[in-house]
Amino acid sequence: MGSRWYRYIGQRGDLAGIGTAHVVFSIDRSGHVQNLKIIENTSNETFANICLQSIMEIQLPPIPDELADSLPPEGLVDEITFTMFAN
C-alpha cells in the first residue's frame, strides 16, 4: 500500500492538497478490501482518491481459516491515516 501511495503522490502530488485523510476498511476472508471509506479528510478530493486507490489495489492472500474463524463477520477491520506535508 505504501509503495503505491508514494508512486501516485509522485505522479499526481502537485494536484493533492496539504492535509490528512483518515480511512477505514475491512479485509474479507478471501483477502479482498471491503467497506472502504474516508471518515475524515482535511486535504482535497485528489488526495483522498490517491489514498483510496492505494488501498483498493492491495492484493492479499486469503486469511487462514483458523484466524478467519475468530474475526467478526465483516472480516479484519483496519484504519490508516495518510498525511501530505508541505515540502
* pLDDT of 87: 72
CATH of the domain at 67: 3.30.1150
| Angstrom distance (rounded) from CA 72 to CA 77 | 9
| Angstrom distance (rounded) from CA 73 to CA 10 | 37
* pLDDT of 37: 98
Number of folded domains that form the chain: 1
> Which residue range is the domain that position 24 belongs to?
2-84
Cβ pair 50, 5 in contact under 8 A: yes
Provide the residue-wise pLDDT of the chain in tens; the chain has 87 residues.
Answer: 999 999 999 999 999 999 999 999 999 999 999 999 999 999 999 999 999 999 999 999 999 999 989 999 889 999 999 999 987
Secondary structure percentages of the chain, helix, strand, coil, to 5: 30, 30, 40
3-state secondary structure of 2: helix
pTM of the model: 0.91
DSSP symbols for 23-44: EEEEE-TTS-EEEEEEEEESS-
